[in-house]
Amino acid sequence: MISRPLVKTFLLCCLIAQLSLPSLAQTDSLMGFSRGGSQSQLAIEQRYDEMLQAQNLDDWMKFMSARPHHVGSPYDKQVVDFMTNKFKEWGYEVKVESFDILFPTPKVLQLELISPTRYTAKLSEPPVEGDVSSTLTDEALPPYNCFSVDGDVTAELVFVNYGLPEDYEELEKLGVDVKGKIVLAKYMGSWRGIKPKVAAEKGAIGCIIYSDPQDDGFFQGDTYPEGPYKNEFGVQRGAVMDLPLSPGDVLTPGYGATKKAKRLAKEDAPALTKIPVLPISYHDALPLLEALEGPVAPGSWRGGLPLTYHIGPGPATVHLKVAFNWDMKPAHNIIATLRGSEYPDEWVIRGNHHDAWVHGALDPVSGMVILMEEARSVSELVKSGHSPKRTIVYCAWGAEEPGLIGSTEWVETHEEELKEKAVAYINTDGSGSGFLYAGGSHTLEKFFSGITEVVMDPQTDVPLLKRRNAYENLSGEDNWSHFKLYALGSGSDYSPFFQHTGIASFNLGFGGESSGGEYHTMYDTYEMYKRFKDPTFQYGVTLAKVAGRTTLRLANAEILPFEFQHFTNTVAEYVDEVIKLADALRENTEKENKRITEGVYALAADPSKLFVVPEPKPSVPYFNFAPLQNVLDELKLQAQTFEEVSKTASISEADKQKLNQLLKDMERSLTREEGLPGRPWFKHHIYAPGFYTGYGVKTLPGVRESIEQRNFEQVDVQIKLVAEVLSRFSDKICEAVALMK
C-alpha cells in the first residue's frame, strides 16, 4: 500500500518527467509516459487497485437487477436514479440526458399450429425453483422481437436452418421456395435481425426464431436452474431492426432524437422489419418441427431435438399474430464527468448500458457495476490528490437493448464536440469469468497489451495475457507475442463512437468459464449470476483493473499511446484476406460452374429425390489490389519511422500538444464522410459489422462485402477508396514524425 506523501512525490516526479521524453516504445517505462511519469502512474494504479471492492459489485448488482428494468419501465427509472446519486456522491458532475425514442412493446403475441395437428405456443418463461427474481413475470416484457412490424399471417411453415443467404441457396437446390410461407429459423449463425430481413427478401410473410438445444440448451450442459444452460422454456428476446443499416432510434436515423428533432412517420422508418417476427423456446418449436414433412434437412442443419428435422413446406400450417404498442419512451443516459486537471478538452469516455431486457444481471448489470466501481475508485484517487490530466466521462447508456439507442442518440447529438475532444471510448457490457476478451482499435493494441501483462488472473495469479495465451495455445494458435484485439463489429455501445464517429474504441469483458443460456431471457438474474457467472466477483474486480488502467493511462499519458505498427500489420492481414477471398471465390465459382455445366450435380443426385441444379454464376474477374498493396508499403515505412523517431525524439511542450491532437484524430482519418456503400451511417472504412452478419465484423468492409456479395464492379472502386483512406492516414503519421524530429 502506498502512502499519501509518496503519491505526492510521484506527482512531482511526473511533472518534472513531462519535460523529458515520454516513452511510446514501452521499454522501461509505460507507453506514453516518461520514466518518472511511469513511476507515478504505477503508484496511482496500485492505489486504484487497492480501492476496488468486490462487495460493491455484488450489492449494486443485487439492487439493480432486482426487478425487470427495460426501457421506460418504472424500475429503469429507479436504477437511473440510484446510479445518478452514486456518481454525484462520488463527486462527479452528473447529467441525465434523455431522448424520446420509439420503443414498441407487445400488445398481442400469438402463435398456433393449426394443421395437421393443433398446438398453441406457450410463449412464456415460468418461474424456476431457487430463483425469486424469475417469479416477477408480471413486470417483465414477454419474449418478443423488438421492431417487428404488426402482422397477422397464416401459412405453411418452412424450416430454414439459420435463415442466412446460403441457407436459401441450399433450399433452392432442394426445390423449396419460401414465397408466401412462414419461415422457422434457428437462433445463432448471425445476428437475429438478419433472419427476418433475408426471409422477407425471399418472399416469406412471417418469421419465427427459436433457440435449438444443440446450440443453446441441454446439448451444451445442464439447464437452468440445475445448470446455467437454456431450459426448454427460455426465449431470447431482442431487437430485429435493420442494425447494419444504422443503429439508434428508428425515427431519427443519423441525428439525435432530441425533443425538437424531426421524426419520420413509423411507416417510413426503413429500419423496421418487413414481416412479423416472433422468438420462441425449443419447447414451443418442438411441435412445429414435428409437424413438418418434405425433405430431411441437410446434416449440418439438424439440431438437438429428438426428431428428424424436415424442411417442409408444411403440412405444418401456422397462424402468427403480433401487434405492438408503438409508444415513445425515454432513453436515459447518465453522463458523469470528471474534469481533466490539465487537458479538460481531451475526453476519455468509459461506458456501459444500464437498460435490460428483463433483470439483466449479466447483461448489462455485471458490466455496469464494474464501471461504477471504477468510477468510485477514481474518485478516491482524486480525493487522495490525483486528478487525472484529461477529462474522464463515465456513461451509463439507456435503451441499448432495442438497438444501441441511448448511446447512438447521444453521439449523434454531440458529434461535433466528440470529434473535437474524444481521445478514446472504452466499452463494457455483460461480463463473466475465465479469459479476457478485448476488441478495439489496433492503433491502441500495443498500449493495451501492456496492461494485460501486468494485471493478474485472479484464479491462477499469472498475467491475463499469459492465461489467455494458454487458452489460445490449446486451441491450436501459436504463442501470442502480445494481446490480440479482435476487430469490432457491432452489438454494443461502441458502435456509434467507433464506426460512426471514428473514435478509437475498446470493448472489454471476461468469458470462457461462464457460458450459459440466460442471454435476454427471464433467467438472467442475480441468483443465476451468483451461481454460474462470477460468484465472488473476482473477475469483475479484475476487469475494473483492466478498464481502469486503460482509462487512467489514457487520461494521464504525456503523449497519447497510439502507435502504428500493430495497426499496419493487422491491416496487412486484412488485405491478405480479401485477396485470398477473391481468389477462393473465383476458384470456387469456376469449380461450381464446371460441376453444373458438366452435369456432375445431376449425376451425383439421387434421381428418386427432387434436386434442382443451380444456375451457373458469373465468373469472378481479377481485381486491382495494387493501390492497397502500395499504400501498405508506405504505411509500413511510416509506422516504422514513427516507432524509431519516438524512441529518441525530444519534443517541446507546444509540439507535444500538437502531437497529441494529431494522434487523437488518427482513428477518425480512417472514416469517410459518405460512409460505406448503401449505409452512410457507417463511416469507418477498416471495420464494420457485416451487412449479412449483423454483429460479426467485416474488416475492409467496402472491399470485402463487394466481393462476398458479388458486386464485382464495386470492388476496384472500394479498393481505391480504402487505399485513399490509408494514404491519408499514412500522411498523418508523417506529420506526427515531423513534429517529433
What would the x/- binding string for its own copies be over residues 633 to 652, using CB under 8 A?
A: --------------------
Q: Which of 6, 12, 132, 462 binds its own copies (CB under 8 A)?
A: 462
Residue closer to its own copies by CB (options 5, 306) is 306
* 615 lies in the site for its own copies, by CB under 8 A: no
Residue 548 has phi, psi (to 5 degrees) of -65, -45
Segments in 291-438 forming alpha helices (H): 367-383, 405-413, 415-421
Site for its own copies in 497-516 (CB under 8 A): 513
* 613 lies in the site for its own copies, by CB under 8 A: no
In this chain, which stretch among 8-16, 163-171, 467-475, 701-709 interacts with its own copies, using CB under 8 A? 467-475
Residue closer to its own copies by CB (options 76, 216) is 216
Closest distance to its own copies from the beta carbon of 461 (Å): 10
Q: Which of 4, 5, 481, 608 binds its own copies (CB under 8 A)?
A: 608
In this chain, which stretch among 356-364, 603-611, 677-685, 690-698 interacts with its own copies, using CB under 8 A? 603-611
Helix (H, G, I), strand (E, B) or coil at 113: strand
∠ CA 298-301-307, nearest 5°, is 90
In this chain, which stretch among 107-115, 322-330, 558-566, 594-602 interacts with its own copies, using CB under 8 A? 594-602
In this chain, which stretch among 331-339, 365-373, 411-419, 462-470 interacts with its own copies, using CB under 8 A? 462-470
Instruction: Give the cell for residue 497.
Output: 463512437
Closest CA to 101 of 408, 418, 396, 428: 408
Q: Three-state SS string across 277-333, please?
A: EEEECHHHHHHHHHCECCCECCHHHCCCCCCCCECCCCECEEEEEEEEECCEEEEEE
Closest CA to 485 of 544, 550, 537, 539: 550
Site for its own copies in 512-541 (CB under 8 A): 513
In this chain, which stretch among 375-383, 436-444, 455-463, 676-684 interacts with its own copies, using CB under 8 A? 455-463
* 159 lies in the site for its own copies, by CB under 8 A: no
- For cell 464527468, name the residue: 337
Residue closer to its own copies by CB (options 473, 652) is 473
Site for its own copies in 218-247 (CB under 8 A): 218-223, 227, 229
Distance CA(201)–CA(203), nearest Å, equals 6
Closest distance to its own copies from the beta carbon of 224 (Å): 12
Q: Which of 202, 386, 467, 668 binds its own copies (CB under 8 A)?
A: 467
Q: Which of 314, 434, 491, 702 binds its own copies (CB under 8 A)?
A: 434
Closest distance to its own copies from the beta carbon of 591 (Å): 9
Q: Are 449 and 29 in contact (CB under 8 A)?
A: no
User: Which residues does 577 contact at the CB level (< 8 Å), separation at least 6?
Assistant: 699, 704
How far the first Cα of the chain sits from its last, in Å, is 40
- Sign (positive or negative) of CA dihedral 237, 242, 243, 244: positive
Q: Which of 213, 439, 540, 701 binds its own copies (CB under 8 A)?
A: 213
Closest distance to its own copies from the beta carbon of 79 (Å): 31
Closest distance to its own copies from the beta carbon of 222 (Å): 5
For its own copies (CB under 8 A), the number of binding residues is 37
Q: Which of 136, 323, 456, 470 binds its own copies (CB under 8 A)?
A: 470
Closest distance to its own copies from the beta carbon of 151 (Å): 32
Closest CA to 238 of 277, 203, 200: 277
Q: Which of 4, 28, 607, 673 binds its own copies (CB under 8 A)?
A: 607
Amino acid at 587: E
Residue closer to its own copies by CB (options 515, 727) is 515
What would the x/- binding string for its own copies be over residues 295 to 314, using CB under 8 A?
A: -x-----x-xxxxx------
In this chain, which stretch among 139-147, 252-260, 463-471, 700-708 interacts with its own copies, using CB under 8 A? 463-471
Partner residues linked to 688 by β-bridges: 698
Burial of 219 (C-beta count, 10 Å sphere; 0-12/13-18/19+)? middle
Q: Which of 471, 480, 611, 712 binds its own copies (CB under 8 A)?
A: 471
Distance CA(366)–CA(518), nearest Å, equals 13
Distance CA(319)–CA(309), nearest Å, equals 21
Q: Checking phi first, is residue 238 left (phi over 0); if not, alpha (psi -120 to 50) or beta?
A: left
Instruction: Give the cell for residue 572.
Output: 496487412
Q: Which of 138, 300, 481, 603 binds its own copies (CB under 8 A)?
A: 603
Measured CA to CA in angstroms, residue 14 lies from 43, 343, 556, 558 at distances of: 11, 15, 10, 9
In the complex, the residues that contact its own copies under the rule CB under 8 A are 213, 218-223, 227, 229, 296, 302, 304-308, 434, 459-460, 462, 466-467, 470-471, 473-474, 513, 595, 599-604, 606-608
